[in-house]
Amino acid sequence: MKNFKYFLIIILALGSFLRVQAADYYWVGGSGNWNDINHWRTTSGGTSFPSVIPGASDNVYFDANSGFTSSSKTITINVTANCKNITFSGSAVAPTLTQSGSQTLNIYGSSVWQAGMGQINVNNIYYRHTGEAKTITSNGVITGSNSGSVFFEEENSISLNDEFFASYIYHNAGTFNTNSNNVTISYNYIANSGTKPRTINLGSSTITFKSSMSAFNTNSANVTLNSGTSHIIFTSLTNSTSSYGIVPYTNQVFNDVTFERLGALGGTHSGVVYYNNVVFLGDGNLYGDNNFKSLIFSPSKTYTLPSGKTQTIVNLFSANTPQCGGWSTIKSSTAGTQANISAAAGVTIDVSGIIIQDVNATGGANFTANNSVDNSNNTGWIFPAYTGQDLYWVGGSGNWNDKAHWSQTSGGTGGYCVPGPGDNVFFDAGSGFTSTNKTVTVDNISYAHNVTFAGSAVAPTLTQSGSQTLNIYGSS
């Protein structure tokens, strides 16, 4: 009996030893389920079956002998799938890797997708920790489903061999090397979960976020960010609260950042975060203390600076709305409490066409705001005299901030000047209102001194796009 026990222990140990040795698995037979042993062989296009489906130490291959055709090319992950290296290559017909329900693919090695696969339609893809450096080769294929997540758990490194596409990336451990390849992320890059150290090496990559609610979140003491000469771009952000956009940790250094729609920069960090060039093409909110080599605001937009915090400018601060092209607003996040902009003597301050409120300018630079309005509680600024004028609406329906609807004379030619706080505006018999063409839409924060609606044969409608503010500094 005792000898039998020893024999059994030896058999079990031998089985375990054999099982952890990496085996190569080859897919055959076209479409099928991952857990169907009939689709796995021990050689490419071979006849020998493995004893079990692939495990964490096994390499899996989908190749020229996998039998894919235009009508039979779908591998369905219908159970939790495990493998070491996964390679799609060489098939005349690019296959499809998808899931039944919501599944998980655990990759304990590297991955190679074949061009033409389109998208790996699996909700959860994990690159698991084994202590070995891993690589990802995408060949233009999106890793993960439309709302799926890719998890980087390897504590050594994961490196890209080409451009990478995903919906969500959760960087939970180790080093992520982009190798200067571009990265496109539909939603979020999250690197602030857990306690394991992680490093992000961006090189010269362009990191593009496509969603209306995207975030690049590195807000953790465990994150080392090496931004190189990278460029982070948010194309479609519509939420500018502190949970979106750039969500950094103190003392991190970013290179270039561009917000093509709304912008949110700073998150909830303490201390100072450093940037090379930051460009806002739409409205934007800033959070915390930040240091910029250059900070650029776009014409006719609204920017909110954090009250009690300081935005330090090293080379250039540009907030330039051309005369008669509309008005931008720069204000503190808390009415009556100042936000701070600091720039040393010699730093370029290019500010015009701005309504400024609750902003303290300091540091020695020449903070002159041309053709701008001191809207109260500002210090350190120079506001050259601004003279208001009379402006007349023409052309029937339109947006308040479209200068094509503003004329110097009643019924005159449009395209003159968008009103500011010192300008009197008139909607009258020359405004061109008809029963089907009579709506004036406040499309952004808008300004006027006196506002007068009188004399039109058809009474117009004054409305808004979204939720807007019309500031009247005189009478109505």
For 117, residues 6+ apart whose C-beta sits below 8 A from its C-beta are 88, 94, 95, 96, 97, 139, 141
* Residue 207 φ/ψ, nearest 5 degrees: -105, 115
- pLDDT of 21: 66
Q: Tokens for 249, please give them.
A: 């940790």
pLDDT at residue 1 greater than cutoff 50? no
How far does CA 224 lie from the centroid of its chain?
Answer: 20
CB 32 within 8 A of CB 53: no
What three-state secondary structure class fits 305?
A: strand
Pairing of strands 40-41, 24-27: antiparallel
User: Among 59-68, 362-371, 414-423, which stretch is predicted with the lowest mean pLDDT?
Assistant: 414-423
Q: How confident is the model at residue 306 (pLDDT cuts 50, 70, 90)?
A: very high
pLDDT at residue 7 greater than cutoff 80? no
The total number of residues shown for the chain amounts to 476
pLDDT at residue 184 greater than cutoff 60? yes
CA distances from 278 to 291, 293, 442 (A): 10, 8, 28
pLDDT at residue 190 greater than cutoff 70? yes
Q: Tokens for 360, please give them.
A: 């303290």
Radius of gyration, CA atoms only, the chain: 30
% of the chain at pLDDT higher than 90: 93
Q: Tokens for 109, please give them.
A: 């090695």
- How far is residue 334's CA from residue 424's CA, in Å, rounded to a whole number? 29
- pTM for the model stands at 0.90
- pLDDT of 14: 40
Q: How confident is the model at residue 174 (pLDDT cuts 50, 70, 90)?
A: very high
Q: What is the DSSP letter of 161?
A: S
- pLDDT of 361: 98
Q: Looking at residues 137-143, what average pLDDT do you find?
A: 98
pLDDT at residue 3 greater than cutoff 70? no
- Which residue is listed with tokens 């799609």? 88
How far does CA 431 lie from the centroid of its chain?
Answer: 42
CA distances from 6 to 12, 14, 17, 20, 190 (A): 10, 12, 16, 21, 50
What three-state secondary structure class fits 18?
A: helix
- pLDDT of 324: 85
- pLDDT of 99: 97
CA distances from 298 to 56, 231, 352 (A): 52, 18, 11
H or E stretch including 20?
Answer: helix 2-20
Q: How confident is the model at residue 124 (pLDDT cuts 50, 70, 90)?
A: very high
Residue 55 burial (10 A CB sphere; 0-12, 13-18, 19+): middle
- How far is residue 264's CA from residue 256's CA, in Å, rounded to a whole number? 14
Cα end-to-end distance, the chain, whole Å: 104
Q: Tokens for 302, please give them.
A: 């609204």
Q: What is the mean pLDDT of the chain?
A: 94
% of the chain at pLDDT higher than 70: 96
Q: Looking at residues 328-332, what average pLDDT do you find?
A: 97
- pLDDT of 13: 44
- pLDDT of 326: 86
CB 409 within 8 A of CB 429: no
Q: How confident is the model at residue 323 (pLDDT cuts 50, 70, 90)?
A: confident
Q: What are the tens digits of pLDDT across the range 269-298?
A: 999 999 999 999 999 999 999 999 999 999
pLDDT at residue 20 greater than cutoff 80? no
Q: How confident is the model at residue 22 (pLDDT cuts 50, 70, 90)?
A: confident
Q: What are the tens digits of pLDDT across the range 41-73?
A: 999 999 999 999 999 999 999 999 999 999 999
Pairing of strands 390-393, 406-407: antiparallel
